Chain A
Amino acid sequence: MSAEKTEIEQLYTSSYQRLLTIARLMLKDEKEAEDIVGDLFAKLADGSITLPSERPESYLLVATRNNCLDRIRRLTLREKMERQLSLSDPNPLYMESRQERITEMIDYAEKNFSKPTWRVFQLRFDEGLLYREIAERLDISETAVYKHLAHALKQLKETFNPTRR
């Protein structure tokens, strides 16, 4: 077995799960995430791409992220909405600061929303309940659910500028 092949196998063992997790988070689709990471290792194995001699793990991370971004760019508006993906063109340079900003936003919401609004917000975006389910869970009308969420989004829009990533 060649040294290169052994290196690819070792990288597969050490990095596959991590790369798959990143791809899943970015694409929000299990099958596509597996395709992206699987393709990457297949290309390494058949020699269509070559690993750099330094920091091959970082190379794999960047390649996975870029392949996911390419895939996202090709999705239709409807497909993006179905997966709740961002509609703006994702810029890899800003991904880290974007995450920090998102954390700040959720912390702000927890501290500043009224208790009922926070609860509705949480049930929708954390637990992923349907509006009808939230209404049933909290024993309020579906219209009230919409109102809480609309109010929450307005409050966030006023405080955070989402065009800044």
Chain B
Amino acid sequence: MKDIEELLRMTERPQDYTDEELQQLLDDPDMRTYYELMVKAEEGFAQRKTKHDKGVRLWKIAAMFIGIILLSGITFAAVHIIRGQESGGMKQENMVATKSQPFAVNHQLSGSDTIRTFENAELQQILGELADYYHLDVDYRNEQARHIRLYTKWNTAAPLSQMIERLNGFEKVSIRQTHNHLIAE
């Protein structure tokens, strides 16, 4: 147990150890195995997050369409939407329309529904919406960055990295993503 604890310390602060010490600990096959498991654990959570993001996006599209249809006067006895996380897709259950035929929620989606336009919006508003959408926190390393005003478009169906690149194309904007944060510098 003691060696695993040493390995845990080492992975957090490898800079505190000499190359020989790192090599020595990882020459032990068990320690190497534990290290590989740690790498895989991190990768596994990252994979989950990717699947989850896809699921959330589909759910939001579905929710938007239900909203449109309810506004048009059609009422539903029951609507359950279950996000199929494993498949990254979406299932519909017990969808019963009192006036209309059952329908497929995402059939009527047009390309423009995934585009959000920000006009003269502060960076903090834009990052706030991105953070909500992708379940991230925003960390402002430069407080002035909050108030930079931009005109930009966000395609919610595109990867977050694409939007970050778009924002970084603006002068004075520097955004990067870490594990759970959007960092504005």
Inter-chain contacts of A50 with B (CB < 8 A) = none
> Which one, A37-45, A63-71, A156-164, is touching chain B?
A156-164
Instruction: Please report the number of residue pairs spanning A and B whose Cβ atoms sit closer than 8 angstroms.
Output: 109
Nearest chain A residue, comparing its CB with the CB of B158? A17
Contact residue among B1, B11, B44, B162 (Cβ-Cβ distance under 8 Å from A84): B11
Quick check: A30 and B26 within 8 Å, CB to CB?
A: no
Quick check: A103 and B47 within 8 Å, CB to CB?
A: yes
- Interface: A11 (CB within 8 A): no
Quick check: A154 and B41 within 8 Å, CB to CB?
A: no
Query: How many angstroms between the C-alpha atoms of A128 and B42 in the bound complex?
Result: 8
0/1 interface trace, chain A 51-82, chain B, CB 8 Å (1 if under): 00000000000000000000000001110011
Given contacts A81-B22, A157-B33, contact A121 B8 (CB under 8 A): no
Nearest chain A residue, comparing its CB with the CB of B10? A81
Inter-chain contacts of B34 with A (CB < 8 A) = 153, 157
Inter-chain contacts of A156 with B (CB < 8 A) = 37, 41
How far apart are B28's CB and chain A's nearest CB, in angstroms? 12
Query: How many angstroms between the C-alpha atoms of A21 and B15 in the bound complex?
Result: 28
Nearest chain A residue, comparing its CB with the CB of B180? A127
Inter-chain contacts of A105 with B (CB < 8 A) = 37, 40-41, 44
Quick check: B44 and A82 within 8 Å, CB to CB?
A: no
Inter-chain contacts of A48 with B (CB < 8 A) = none
- A contacts with B: majority SS: helix
Query: How many angstroms between the C-alpha atoms of A49 and B134 in the bound complex?
Result: 38
Quick check: A122 and B161 within 8 Å, CB to CB?
A: no
Inter-chain contacts of B165 with A (CB < 8 A) = 17
0/1 interface trace, chain A 84-108, chain B, CB 8 Å (1 if under): 1111100000000001011101100
Inter-chain contacts of A138 with B (CB < 8 A) = none
Contact residue among B4, B162, B176, B178 (Cβ-Cβ distance under 8 Å from A153): B4
How far apart are A57's CB and chain B's nearest CB, in angstroms? 17
Given contacts A105-B40, A131-B8, contact A17 B179 (CB under 8 A): no
Quick check: B42 and A84 within 8 Å, CB to CB?
A: yes
How far apart are A113's CB and chain B's nearest CB, in angstroms? 11
Nearest chain A residue, comparing its CB with the CB of B2? A150
Contact residue among A21, A81, A102 (Cβ-Cβ distance under 8 Å from B11): A81
Inter-chain contacts of A21 with B (CB < 8 A) = 159, 161
Quick check: B161 and A125 within 8 Å, CB to CB?
A: no
Quick check: B39 and A106 within 8 Å, CB to CB?
A: no
0/1 interface trace, chain A 121-155, chain B, CB 8 Å (1 if under): 11011111011000000000000001101100110
Quick check: B4 and A87 within 8 Å, CB to CB?
A: no
Quick check: A150 and B26 within 8 Å, CB to CB?
A: no
- Interface: A36 (CB within 8 A): no
How far apart are A35's CB and chain B's nearest CB, in angstroms? 16
| Cβ < 8 Å to A, chain B residues 163-181 | 165, 176, 178-180
Query: How many angstroms between the C-alpha atoms of A138 and B45 in the bound complex?
Result: 20
Nearest chain B residue, comparing its CB with the CB of A132? B12
Quick check: B159 and A17 within 8 Å, CB to CB?
A: yes
Interface contacts beyond A17-B165, A86-B36: sample of 6 additional A-B pairs, CB < 8 Å, sorted by A: A82-B15, A102-B43, A103-B48, A106-B41, A127-B180, A147-B1
